[in-house]
Amino acid sequence: MKQNVLDEREQQVLGQIEHKALNAAEILLILAIVVQLLLGADFRQIAGECMVMIVLTIGMIAAYVHSGIWDTDAAPSSGGNLRFSLFTGAGAGLLTFGLKKQILIALAMALGMFILTFVLLTLLMNSVRRRQEKQAEEFEADE
């Protein structure tokens, strides 16, 4: 095993750089998928990007919940979950409308994505809060 030559500050800077690069990669993957769909690609043509996005997202979420981390910029909250769910619902609705040109299907997709996102974020928020409480109890027991 190689020795780490970075001091604590350098490790923090490296973590920030990697965090920004990972966020950029996620955004670019999503944009690549959306652009390809709008240009008429079928699922076989975007399957690779979708698989990378799914594995990356599930892995990050699992690691965050296991570590008791929600986000670098916000604490877990129902209001934040609501805002993000509205954003993803609107995005799904707009994408569906762009592909299908049918408002009812787009509205149904937007509503479905909103509900799914809100439920999942609420479940994750509760898991993160439980993990944080457990970590606080372990910390107090160690003192």
pLDDT digits (tens, 9 = 90+) for 79-136: 999 999 999 999 999 999 998 999 999 999 999 999 999 999 999 999 999 999 998 8
Given a cut of 70, whether residue 1 has pLDDT beyond it is no
pLDDT level of residue 24 (50, 70, 90 thresholds): very high
Q: List Cα–Cα distances, 137 to 64, 85, 125, in angstroms.
A: 19, 31, 18
Cα gap 120→93, rounded to integer Å = 18
* pLDDT: which is higher, 71 or 80: 80
Judge if pTM exceeds 0.85. Answer: no
Q: What is the mean pLDDT of residues 30-56?
A: 91
Given a cut of 80, whether residue 143 has pLDDT beyond it is no
Q: Is 89 exposed, middle or buried (0-12, 13-18, 19+ CB in 10 A)?
A: buried
Q: What is the mean pLDDT of residues 22-47?
A: 91
- For the chain, the DSSP string reads -PPP---HHHHHHHHHHHHHHHHHHHHHHHHHHHHHHHTT--HHHHHHHHHHHHHHHHHHHHHHHHHT---SS----HHHHHHHHHHHHHHHHHHHHHHH--HHHHHHHHHHHHHHHHHHHHHHHHHHHHHHHHHHHHHHHH-
Q: What is the mean pLDDT of residues 2-23?
A: 88
Place of tokens 């107090």: 140
Place of tokens 């999503």: 30
- Among 25, 21, 11, 128, residue whose Cα is nearest residue 80: 128
Cα gap 118→115, rounded to integer Å = 5
